[in-house]
Amino acid sequence: MSELRLRGVRPYGEGPPVDLTVRDGRIAAVDPAKGSPPRAGELDGRGGVLLPGFVDLHTHLREPGGEDAETVRTGTASAAAGGFTDVFAMANTRPVTDSVDRVRWLAELAAAEAVVRVHPVAAVTRDLAGADLTDLDALAAAGVRVFSDDGHCVDDPALVDRALRHLGPAGGLFAQHAQSGALAGGGQVDATVAARLGLPPWPMVAEDVVVARDVLLALERDAPLHVCHVSSPRSVEIIRWARERGARVSAEVTPHHLLLDTTRSGTGDPTYKVNPPLRGPEVVPALRRALRDGVIDVVATDHAPHPAHRKRGPWREAAFGMTGLETALAVTAEVFDGPSGVDWRRVAEVLSHRPAALAGIDGVAGRPLAVGEPATFCVVAEDAPWTVSRADTRSRSGNTPFEGREFRHRVVLTVVAGRPVWRHEETLVEGH
């Protein structure tokens, strides 16, 4: 019988501290905290906030084909350090995850190498080419829940319609990278700063028109649609409109779009090159409001690691993308910080409960913190300032947009089914 004892934590940051006992992968007891110091083998939670493990619907693990940037082992180690217990691995690897065999290969690799649980995302079209649908029914039967050509928009409305007709009855979720090729084309940066930088523009309307088209198709087919990395207030309003009419539409926002804007990308520093691009300063507050209002359902990292040489040099030659797993909690907590402190229940909703439900894994992830539930959780050190440093990341890549930035809250312990997979030893100590 395996056992873990965690002393002095506060579930959802509420009430006095409690002591948590875990046996055989489940929460066995939640008792009022003892005043005595922890004994040998017990972890001292030091009043930290206990939250259910986070679920990331949008992670690029790069393996196979991009191991110079990330592997399943390093990416999931980074996820663990950020409080994530479950990640959905996007399909745009080399080769693409577009068949049952590729899904099984990734599942076997994850079983051998992953630090946290990995859920394969399957491509919607073969080789992400936007021409022929993958065998969606077979992939769904093989256990795939989320389907996406992320990195590419499925731009053909007839293909989107066919995908929705297949995936709705099969219980699959179509996650669209909303980017009209006709309008965004080879866009590199937000249209408001493109001329000054001498770069092709990526206007917000290129997102809006795809979102508008696809929510209408989702309404027509009564099928679930998930909009990846929303970056436009007009897209938010379209999603709101569709929901009011019964559309089964969900949406995500990235941590970087909740905090950064064109004051960073407008410098021409390719550290801030990302797709969709950072938008104007007025957009960040609008996206935060949409998340707080529930129009945007979840925070998803779009963790996109790249080796250092891919993020240097001229902007046009640099890669799109930023890492985000280890800083997502810190950014999200800022969004839900108010006069009475951080609303940790809302943080848990957008990082854990809601993404687990959308992805159909709420039987094992995103569970309440209660006796009998799976012991899959994290502990957050509240009001414990720390500074982001590439040197400290567990990812193979250091292309964070937050280098040198100070945050107030950080994950210090992550546990998956009763097994600790991350502990920040300077903050969370073991008794003697």
Which whole-number Å values give the CA distances from 222 to 164, 207, 231, 419, in the listed order? 9, 22, 25, 40
Q: Is 405 exposed, middle or buried (0-12, 13-18, 19+ CB in 10 A)?
A: middle
Amino acid at 264: R
**Cross-strand partners of 338:** 341
SS3 of 137, please? helix
Q: Catalytic one among 302, 343, 383, 392?
A: 302
Instruction: Collect all residues with Cβ–Cβ distance below 8 Å to 427 and sequence separation of at least 6.
Output: 46, 381, 384, 410, 412
- Could you tell me which of 78, 73, 74 has the C-alpha nearest to residue 54? 78
Is 296 within 8 Å of 230 (Cβ atoms)?
yes
Instruction: Collect all residues with Cβ–Cβ distance below 8 Å to 192 and sequence separation of at least 6.
Output: 262, 280
- Could you tell me which of 327, 330, 334, 307 has the C-alpha nearest to residue 318? 307
CA 346 from chain centre, in angstroms, equals 16
Is 377 within 8 Å of 50 (Cβ atoms)?
yes
Got the DSSP string for 300-368? ---B----GGGGSSSGGGSPP-B--TTTHHHHHHHHTEETTEE-HHHHHIIIIIHHHHHTT-TTTSS--
Which tokens belong to 81? Answer: 């350090």
Handedness of CA 150, 155, 156, 158 (dihedral sign): positive
SS3 of 289, please? helix
CA 341 from chain centre, in angstroms, equals 23
Tell me, yes or no, if 302 is annotated catalytic: yes
Q: Which residues are catalytic?
A: 302
